């Protein structure tokens, strides 16, 4: 039973997938009962060396989609266009699509799912969020009957590597980024990773799958790690935390909210121990309790393996010649603004070391209905560093209090603000 495969994108993931299809064809057939035949691979530049024979390459991606010998299309180009147009064209031809494109799925998910359903074919994207971690299928199928409360994810390996290096090696942010680039974890321009944009797209997808309410990327609050100082990672450890860039999706009872930002994670939380470039997603629910999915979140091998799993499943459905029922459905629901959600904050303030300073700062928090949980002070002559951790209060109250602190004469600098993970959503 043959299924012809066309790949859009011959880079790290697409090239690795093409090589696996060629080298492991007999093994895949023996295990799955399906003969997956690589037909064509669309690349941007035909002159570049590839890990698969050049005879498979073409610089005309539209020809891959239209080729009658291509039964199933894999999209690993990334970005919105031309990927979106090519995927929609493949679906219109009745060809299943497997993609690892989180930006496209996050931005155009409802359009893509509706189009696939109308044609009765699969649209699978296991590799779009956790790379090699099996995550999409458990969320959309295995846990579809569970009322998930919260999803916490380390879904960007580059930023996790940077934060790990800053903490364990004492490096500055700039030095850690440079090392991530040297090792190939970060691109020459790491903006999409360090700004939180990459994790933001993944947070939107996770929220939609977990709660059945579509959350577009424009409704995800995003804050990156660029403003973090190595000193705050040291203070975090002293206070019993470790800093991670988290994607958080939660059902507050009043609605769904999704966000990405650095966070103080308690040292005894499973996500605290996720080191280096690894990814992990932590899921909480009333019946399942707590689940942790962890593994390599990026790289050609792990991501191509996840893509290949989707290819085999889509090929099985294609050979069954049956109308494919939509796996993912979205219903009505409320998407909340992050400013309305209760959060807990850590703040590092550089202040004048004089009597009455703490009282003035406490007064500002009181005016904005934010309660202080703990205070730690380190004096340095005429100046001092204050570390504060607050109790839960509306995010908007924290922001207003912090803005007011910047106008106090005794506060020389609001040096850092980081949200703190609480035990309950």
Residues designated as active site: 202
Contact 139, 205 (CB under 8 A): no
Which residue from 244, 239, 238 is spatially nearest to 272, judged by alpha carbons? Answer: 244
CB-count exposure of residue 253 (10 Å: 0-12, 13-18, 19+): exposed
Contact 155, 279 (CB under 8 A): yes
Six-digit token pair at 289?
């309790």
What burial letters (b/e) apply to 359-397, b meaning 16+ CB within 10 Å?
ebbeebbeebebebeeeeeeeeeeebbbbbbbebbbbeb
Which residue from 333, 135, 152 is spatially nearest to 258, judged by alpha carbons? Answer: 152
What burial letters (b/e) apply to 168-191, b meaning 16+ CB within 10 Å?
eeebebeebbbbbeeeebbeeebe
3-state secondary structure 226-265: CCCCHHHHHHHHHCCEEEEEEEEEEECCCCEEEEEEEEEE
Residue found under tokens 């610089």: 59
E strands within 267-313?
A: 278-285, 289-296
DSSP, res 337: P
Sign of CA dihedral 290, 294, 298, 301: negative
110 phi, psi to nearest 5 deg: -55, -40
Task: Please name every residue paired with 258 in a beta bridge, in sequence order, or none if there are none.
Answer: 220, 249
**Cα–Cα distance measured from residue 303 to residue 99, given in angstroms and rounded to the nearest whole number:** 11
DSSP, res 264: E
**Cα–Cα distance measured from residue 291 to residue 377, given in angstroms and rounded to the nearest whole number:** 38
Cis preceding-peptide flag for 82 (omega within 30 of 0): yes
**Cα–Cα distance measured from residue 315 to residue 34, given in angstroms and rounded to the nearest whole number:** 8
């Amino acid at each position: 039973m043959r299924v012809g495969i066309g790949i859009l994108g011959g880079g790290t993931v697409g090239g690795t997938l093409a090589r696996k299809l060629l080298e492991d064809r007999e093994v895949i057939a023996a295990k799955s009962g399906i003969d997956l035949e690589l037909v064509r691979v669309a690349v941007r530049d035909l002159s570049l060396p590839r890990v698969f024979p050049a005879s498979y390459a073409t610089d005309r991606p539209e020809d891959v989609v239209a080729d009658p010998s291509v039964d199933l299309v894999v999209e690993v180009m990334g970005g919105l266009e031309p990927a979106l147009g090519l995927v929609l064209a493949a679906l219109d031809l009745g060809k299943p699509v497997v993609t690892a494109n989180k930006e496209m799925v996050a931005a155009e998910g409802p359009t893509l799912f509706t189009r696939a359903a109308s044609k009765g074919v699969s649209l699978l994207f296991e590799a779009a969020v956790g790379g090699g971690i099996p995550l999409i299928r458990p969320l959309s199928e295995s846990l579809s009957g569970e009322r998930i409360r919260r999803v916490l994810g380390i879904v960007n390996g580059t930023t996790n590597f940077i934060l790990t290096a800053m903490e364990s090696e004492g490096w500055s942010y700039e030095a850690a980024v440079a090392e991530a680039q040297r090792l190939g974890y970060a691109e020459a321009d790491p903006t999409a990773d360090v700004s939180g944009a990459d994790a933001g797209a993944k947070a939107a997808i996770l929220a939609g799958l977990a709660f059945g309410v579509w959350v577009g990327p424009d409704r995800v609050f995003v804050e990156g790690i660029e403003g973090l100082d190595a000193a705050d990672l040291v203070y975090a450890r002293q206070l019993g935390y470790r800093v991670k860039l988290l994607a958080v999706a939660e059902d507050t009872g009043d609605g769904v909210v999704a966000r990405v930002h650095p966070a103080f994670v308690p040292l005894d939380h499973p996500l605290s121990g996720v080191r280096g470039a690894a990814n992990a997603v932590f899921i909480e629910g009333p019946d399942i309790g707590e689940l942790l999915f962890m593994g390599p979140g990026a790289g050609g091998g792990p991501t191509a393996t996840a893509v290949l799993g989707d290819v085999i499943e889509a090929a099985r459905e294609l050979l069954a010649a049956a109308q494919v029922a939509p796996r993912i459905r979205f219903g009505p629901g409320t998407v909340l603004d992050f400013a309305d959600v209760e959060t807990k904050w850590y703040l590092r303030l550089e202040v004048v070391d004089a009597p009455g300073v703490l009282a003035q700062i406490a007064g500002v928090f009181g005016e904005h209905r934010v309660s202080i949980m703990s205070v730690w002070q380190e004096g340095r002559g005429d100046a001092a560093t204050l570390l504060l951790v607050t109790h839960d209060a509306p995010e908007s109250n924290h922001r207003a209090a912090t803005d007011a602190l910047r106008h106090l004469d005794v506060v020389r600098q609001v040096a850092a603000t980081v949200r703190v993970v609480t035990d309950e959503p």
